């Protein structure tokens, strides 16, 4: 048990050093770096525009003067696409408000050349000695029919090469977030054409606030090639980094916590998927895309093929529908299920099942936590019984330590003998809890990634379970008429709401039921932990903090009942006795 406590102590001390270092040193440094990037970008807008027009080998094909656009309009989406490269680069998500108090739709895709540019496009490249004029990423397409892209009205475009290739492209949109690019290619030349389809998603820099990346979650380039998942976080990549994979079918994209843009080839085609980080003078550019194996098109022949672009919200049921109906390989892996995916997926299913019956995701969180507690009741029961026995032995153990204070070896021998006489295993309280850690972490992960928790209220003052508790202890949770959010430190690192404080209280009460560490310094450190975790969890999503507090509360009830059955007097019992004694003295007076 001593070794176990030393390990815990080492972890606690490391966390106590690293967490403040992250908060007070690394995070401000990252904020300064992002501010410097924005400043550098504003000074070099003209340079970036020139670079965008001359990227790689595309400069030779740029001949657009006016960016002709087609409106995109549906219940789910609003925006436009550019006929230059058929780029989808102006998109808003109508079903999702930017903030609880801001009903404007989420701004998702942003045109090239603007700050935080983010777009997807699909094109062709010609290979070999045959016809070479194919519509690349900067090709100007001609509108043949349709003037507004909706789920009921597709548009038809055309590109005529100067050496015999004719491309007709029909772009359609479903009721949600899937665009289909159906191409008919004619080779009117006297030579065989060799063509490869290629598509990409591009983003300049990391997502802006409030979509900035979070360490527990994968955000950045992602894709599946064949059945192989490849991904990297934004901040784990350096300029020049590239990752590629070859296989049959799949998809490539760039994902945020709740939204994703992805390019999807014909699932029967051999592709090479690749993502990279391109270094630039301003914000670096993240790129994720694919290129297909060449297709041969003889003189006078016609080829029909299609590809897709997904641009929207990562609703799990929708991703799974696309996966099953369109045959898109492992498309629901766009959601970061984590290393314990075999647990997070069932949790997700159960949360959404219960939310339908209980009237909200908040009540579903409480119910799932209770069910998980019931599932692990036998293990937790053994752990708490062992803790109760250990707490009963504390006076005897203290007597041994005092008696053999100068003989540590004899002290340890006597304590082991005491365990054997009383039939107590000090590790019995630790091992069952260790088995539960992955399970509860998986539940925590599920709550963090689920889109359905966004902007969902909870009884009381919480209007958005995916955002931090909006109250603050520094204005007495709204009783004082001022907003402390703008104050340094108090409005930032120490912006602590009511639910984080409740979580800290439950953590303290749960600790009070456990056997205290033998070392005084360890006791002080463990006593300080509830305050540390209150500060750490304050900026977390309210739904996660509510889950943590509720889980602690259930653990306290279970542990208290077990300890009373074992005849152990807890600090709570002592506190109640003191109150009763004071009440008796007052009444006698």
The tokens for 62 are 């740029």
Residue 40: band (very low, low, confident or very high) from pLDDT cuts 50, 70, 90: very low
Cβ(253)–Cβ(260) below 8 Å: yes
Query: Tell me, what's the pLDDT at 47?
Result: 35
pLDDT of residue 476: 78
Question: Which one, of 8, 6, 139, 15, lies nearest residue 85 by Cα?
Answer: 139
Percent pLDDT > 70 in the chain is 81
Q: What is the mean pLDDT of residues 91-102?
A: 90
Q: What are the contacts of 34-42 at 24+ separation with CB within 8 A?
A: 34/206, 37/205, 37/282, 37/283, 38/115, 40/281, 40/282, 41/115, 41/205, 41/282, 41/283, 42/115
Q: 569 near 53, Cβ under 8 Å?
A: no
Q: What is the 3-state secondary structure (H, E, C) of 460-494?
A: CCCCCCCCCCCCCHHHCCCCCCCCHHHCCCCCCCC
Dist. CA 165–CA 54, nearest whole Å:
25
- Do 16 and 24 touch, CB atoms closer than 8 A? no
Which of 480, 479, 448, 443 lies closest to 466, judged by CA?
A: 448
Burial class (CB in 10 A: 0-12, 13-18, 19+), 33: exposed
pLDDT of residue 436: 66
pLDDT at 73 over 60: yes
**CA–CA distances in Å: residue 348 to residues 264, 353, 578:** 26, 9, 46
pLDDT band (50, 70, 90) for residue 210: low
3-state secondary structure at position 458:
coil
d(Cα 559, Cα 484) in Å, to the nearest integer? Answer: 38
Distance CA 14, CA 10 (A): 6
- Give the per-residue pLDDT at 522: 72
In angstroms, rounded to a whole number, what is the distance separating the alpha carbons of residues 284 and 388? 57
Phi then psi for 444, rounded to 5 degrees? -60, -45
Instruction: Give residue 395's pLDDT.
Output: 81
Q: How confident is the model at residue 50 (pLDDT cuts 50, 70, 90)?
A: very low
Q: Among the listed ranges 269-278, 412-421, 427-436, which one has the minimum average pLDDT value?
A: 427-436
- Torsion, Cα 421 427 428 431, to 10 degrees, reads -170
Tokens matching residue 92 = 């808003």
Residue 516 DSSP symbol: P
CB 96 within 8 A of CB 316: no
Higher pLDDT, 46 or 112: 112
pLDDT at 367 over 50: yes
């Amino acid at each position: 048990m001593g070794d176990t406590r030393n390990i815990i102590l080492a972890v606690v001390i490391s966390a106590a050093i690293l967490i403040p270092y992250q908060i007070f040193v690394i995070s401000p440094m990252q904020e300064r770096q992002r501010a410097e990037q924005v400043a550098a970008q504003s000074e070099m807008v003209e340079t970036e525009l020139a670079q965008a027009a001359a990227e790689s080998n595309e400069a030779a094909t740029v001949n657009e003067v006016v960016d002709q656009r087609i409106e995109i309009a549906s219940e789910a989406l609003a925006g436009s696409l550019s006929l230059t490269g058929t780029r989808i680069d102006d998109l808003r998500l109508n079903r999702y408000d930017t903030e609880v108090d801001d009903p404007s739709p989420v701004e998702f895709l942003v045109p090239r050349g603007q700050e935080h540019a983010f777009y997807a496009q699909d094109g062709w490249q010609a290979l070999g000695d045959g016809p070479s004029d194919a519509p690349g990423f900067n090709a100007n397409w001609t509108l043949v029919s349709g003037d507004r892209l909706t789920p009921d009205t597709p548009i038809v475009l055309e590109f005529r090469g100067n050496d015999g290739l004719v491309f007709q492209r029909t772009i359609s949109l479903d009721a949600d977030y899937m665009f289909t690019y159906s191409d008919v290619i004619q080779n009117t030349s006297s030579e065989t054409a060799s063509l490869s389809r290629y598509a990409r998603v591009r983003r300049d820099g990391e997502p802006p606030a409030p979509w900035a990346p979070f360490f527990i979650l994968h955000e950045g380039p992602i894709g599946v090639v064949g059945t192989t998942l490849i991904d990297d976080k934004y901040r784990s990549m350096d300029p020049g980094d590239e990752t590629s994979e070859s296989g049959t079918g799949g998809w490539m994209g760039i994902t945020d916590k709740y939204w994703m843009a992805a390019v999807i080839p014909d699932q029967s085609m051999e592709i090479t998927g690749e993502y990279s980080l391109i270094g630039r003078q301003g914000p670096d550019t993240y790129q994720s895309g694919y290129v297909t194996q060449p297709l041969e098109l003889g003189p006078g022949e016609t080829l029909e093929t299609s590809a897709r672009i997904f641009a929207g919200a990562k609703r799990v049921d929708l991703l799974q529908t696309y996966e099953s109906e369109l045959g898109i390989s492992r498309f629901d892996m766009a959601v970061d299920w984590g290393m314990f995916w075999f647990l997070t997926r069932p949790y997700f299913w159960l949360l959404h099942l219960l939310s339908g019956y209980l009237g909200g995701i908040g009540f579903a969180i409480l119910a799932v936590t209770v069910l998980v507690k019931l599932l692990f009741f036998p293990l937790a029961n053994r752990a708490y019984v062992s803790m109760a026995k250990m707490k009963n032995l504390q006076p005897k153990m203290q007597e041994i330590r005092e008696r053999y204070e100068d003989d540590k070896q004899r002290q340890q021998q006597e304590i082991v003998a005491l365990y054997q006489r009383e039939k107590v295993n000090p590790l019995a309280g630790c091992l069952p809890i260790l088995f539960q850690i992955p399970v509860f972490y998986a539940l925590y992960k599920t709550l963090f990634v689920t889109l359905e928790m966004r902007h969902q209220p909870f009884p009381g003052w919480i209007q958005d379970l995916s955002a931090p508790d909006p109250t603050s202890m520094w204005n007495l949770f709204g009783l004082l008429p001022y907003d402390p959010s703008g104050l340094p430190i108090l409005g930032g690192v120490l912006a602590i709401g009511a639910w984080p404080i409740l979580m800290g209280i439950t953590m303290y009460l749960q600790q009070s039921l456990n056997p205290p560490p033998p070392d005084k310094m360890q006791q002080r450190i463990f006593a300080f932990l509830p305050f540390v975790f209150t500060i750490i969890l304050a900026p977390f999503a309210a739904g996660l903090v509510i889950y943590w507090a509720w889980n602690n509360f259930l653990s306290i009830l279970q542990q208290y009942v077990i300890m009373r059955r074992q005849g152990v007097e807890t600090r709570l019992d002592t506190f109640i006795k003191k109150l009763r004694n004071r009440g008796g003295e007052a009444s006698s007076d």
